[in-house]
Amino acid sequence: MAHGGHCVARHEGRVVFVRHALPGERVLARPEPGGEGDRFWRADAVEVLEPSPDRVTPPCPLAGPGRCGGCDWQHASLPAQRANKAGIVLEQLQRLGGVDPATVPGLADLRTEPLAVPGRGDDDGLGWRTRMRYAVDAAGRPGLRGHRSHELVEVPACPIAHAEVEAVGAGTRRWSRTEAIEIVAAGVGPDGERAPAGERAPDGGSAPAQRLVVVEPSPGERASVPPLAAEASVALRAPDGLRRLRGRTWVEEHVELAGVRRSFRVTGAGFWQVHPAAPRTLADAVLAAADPRPGERAVDLYCGVGLFTAALALRVGEAGAVLGIESDARAAADARRNLHDLPQVTLEAGRVERVLPGLQRPAGPGGPAGWARADVVVLDPPRAGAGRAVLDVVLGMRPRVVVYVACDPASLARDVATAATRGYRLAGLRALDLFPMTQHVECVAALVPSGPHEIS
């Protein structure tokens, strides 16, 4: 298996990346359009001649060549999926990161850890996705795109969608003059509290705050919202932000951090982990890797609505300090609301590579105390990774530990290689199966100073 959800095969000396196949199989593959001079080809396994013992019947009839591109590995058993993900993480760290697994405790025996879906368990890898975005065609039919395609596949029901998302019935409705719709189900995690059905909305209507439909109109059109199968708040995405049609434009998530149950407002379809068990699992993993101590200074970069910022603040206490930086203005505003009761927290809105260097000036009458040094840094960058510019600033702060939360093992591996040139080494890593049936895997890595610069 290779990073990206496909197998590496060879045909007459040419590398072919084949989707819907498994290691060891012999398949009949249909290539995508390409040229004889291409370095490699892409293809779909349209017939399996010699199947792997790990092959299973996909639970979704829309999974397979030429169909929905939302899932990559429904044809593989869950143990095989998780073994392949661990193998890919190791391969990327070795090839792109220059990491010798034998030098990192537990890395050579890396396992991808499953997460249980509250109320469902982890027996089938389904029913976990609490946020779904559907594109809508000219006829108002919602669906998902094919792999590497603009072609829309109608999806009346999605097996990996959470039951609260499916309850809305969005896939079976017609959404005229609509470009896309997003369905959010909140408060369904292990620390969640279901909102009472029939909660009174500000406009006098009746809509639970924990289901939200965000409608994106077609350009220049006024979208029409069909009757839904379950009560939900509805918001319209406008050029200047979200406009409430009924109920609220935000949802509330609940997570237990350091024994304290905290609430987090997330506006619209803003970023929040899509697996209901992920926020608490990731927060616990970050705290375990960082071990923040009372009175320490911690930095949370790409902090979103403040999940890790809150976890760090509760550990360092009011004698410590936590800096959170987030570029998305809507998420930054939510973070200010979510963390207003924690005086040790400072929040800054803007791009990390621009904001953080400006905060590293010494303390003085013209501004707040500088952040030239920090004990702990948490990085949760977008898929492309943190990059050299951000890492140069972060590692220049000489933290005793950097905890890197990564949704892309290739980006993580490249940043680990960059960190090694700045005197930091990979000291530990966990792989979490936050996205069953897909090729995605979440990693939590710890980087510590190496060599003579190591800090106790």
C-alpha–C-alpha distance, residues 338 and 253, integer Å: 11
Q: Is 7 annotated as catalytic?
A: no
Residue in the block written with tokens 């397979």? 64
- Written as six digits, the tokens of 45 are 């396994």
Residue 160: CB atoms within 10 A of its CB come to 23
140 CB-near residues (< 8 Å, 6+ apart): 174, 175, 176, 177, 178
> What is the side-by-side order of every strand in the sheet holding 7-11?
7-11, 14-19, 40-50, 26-31
The conformation of residue 227, written as its DSSP 8-state character, comes to P
* Pairing of β 241-246 and β 26-31: unpaired
C-alpha–C-alpha distance, residues 90 and 99, integer Å: 9
- Residue 180 contacts residue 137 (beta carbons within 8 Å): no
Element containing residue 284 per DSSP (H, E):
helix 278-290
430 CB-near residues (< 8 Å, 6+ apart): 113, 285, 289, 443, 444
C-alpha–C-alpha distance, residues 161 and 401, integer Å: 36
Element containing residue 290 per DSSP (H, E):
helix 278-290
- Residue 128 contacts residue 452 (beta carbons within 8 Å): no
Residue 65: CB atoms within 10 A of its CB come to 16
240 CB-near residues (< 8 Å, 6+ apart): none
Q: How far is CA 53 from CA 47, 67, 233, 388, in A?
A: 16, 24, 46, 42
71, 158, 303, 407: which one is catalytic? 407
3-class secondary structure, 331:
helix
Q: How far is CA 310 from CA 115, 335, 377, in A?
A: 22, 9, 14
Residue 111 Rama label (left phi>0; alpha psi -120 to 50; beta): beta
Residue 215 Rama label (left phi>0; alpha psi -120 to 50; beta): beta
- Written as six digits, the tokens of 29 are 């593959």
Q: How far is CA 18 from CA 5, 15, 61, 147, 359, in A?
A: 9, 10, 20, 12, 47
* Active-site residue list: 407
